[in-house]
Amino acid sequence: MAAASREEIACYPTIPSATLRGAGASLLLYGVILHGVPAARADVSDAGRQQFLTSCGTCHTTNRDEPPRQGPNLATVFGRRVATLPEYEYSAALRGGNWVWNETTLDPWIENAQAAHPGTVMNYRQADPDKRRLIIEYLKSIKEASREL
């Protein structure tokens, strides 16, 4: 035992300090992955959900079994092709569209729906990029959560 620890001590100076710093960094990263991220994600989702309810909730629900409101149900919209819910009557501006809703397509849409897809009946604009990001992350997170069910 004593011999082993002497050997360990003797080994330390031969480990380049960069390696030690690297090891420290990956330990730190581990800590973030194991503990930090789930907490951070929960915060984002809560803030995102609030922002969604405030900005979109009058016209959209994300409760899976709820019928559409003025706009279609968005529970599974992230990663979904545009205008594909059979129970919702989309406008011609979206019907026959050929894109998938993701970060790239949602951002200009909620920044200014009528500019992004002229003729749509969604009359909505959100100028604040942070609010848009929160909403998009929320839609992504509920889609991912539903996949895990």
53 lies in the site for ligand HEC, by CB under 6 A: no
Q: Which is nearer to ligand HEC, 135 or 142 (CB)?
A: 135
Shortest Å, Cβ 57 to ligand HEC: 8
By beta-carbon proximity to ligand HEC, the closer residue of 26 and 112 is: 112
Q: How many CB atoms lie within 10 A of CB 124?
A: 17
Among the listed residues 93, 134, 140, 142, the single contact to ligand HEC using CB under 6 A: 93
Contact region with ligand HEC (CB under 6 A), list: 11-19, 27-35, 37-45, 90-98: 90-98
What is d(CA 80, CA 99) in angstroms, rounded to the nearest whole number? Answer: 9
d(CA 41, CA 2): 46
Q: Does 58 bind ligand HEC (CB under 6 A)?
A: yes
Judged by DSSP in three states, 81 sits in strand
Is 75 among the residues that bind ligand HEC (CB under 6 A)? Answer: no
Nearer to ligand HEC, 41 or 88 (CB): 88
Residue 74's Cβ-side half-sphere holds a number of Cα atoms within 13 Å equal to 25
104 binds ligand HEC (CB under 6 A): no
